[in-house]
Copies of this chain bind each other. A is one copy, B any other.
Amino acid sequence: MRVDLGGIRMKNPVTVASGTFGYGAEYAKLVDVTRLGAITVKGIRLQPWSGNPLPRHVEVPGGMVNAIGLQGPGVEGFARDYMPFLRTTGVPVIVNIWGTSEEEYAEVARRLSEVEGVSGLELNISCPNVKEGGNAFGTDPRAVSSLVATVRRATRLPLMPKLAPNVPDIKLFVRAAQEAGADALALINTLPAMVIDIETRRPILANKVGGLSGPAIHPVAVKLVWEAAQVARVPLLAMGGIVGPDEAIEFLIAGASAVAVGTANFIDPTTPLRVLEGIEAYLRRHGMNSVAALTGSLCMTNPATNVEP
Contact = CB atoms under 8 A, between A and B. Distances in A.
A201 interface: yes
Contacts of A169: 139
| Size range of the chain A interface in the assembly | 35 or more
Interface of A: 50-55, 60-63, 65, 71, 135, 139-140, 164, 166-169, 191-196, 198, 200-203, 206, 208-209, 212, 215-220, 222-223, 226, 241, 246, 249-250, 253-254, 282, 297-303, 305, 307-309
A135 B167 CA distance: 12
A302 B202 contact: yes
Question: Could you say how many copies of this chain the assembly holds?
Answer: 2
Contact of A253 (B50, B201, B212, B222): B201
A193 B206 CA distance: 30
B202 A222 contact: no
B303 A202 contact: yes
5 contacts: A53-B302, A61-B216, A62-B215, A139-B169, A195-B219
Given A139-B168, A167-B166, A217-B216, A307 B55 contact: yes
Contact of A196 (B53, B217, B298): B298
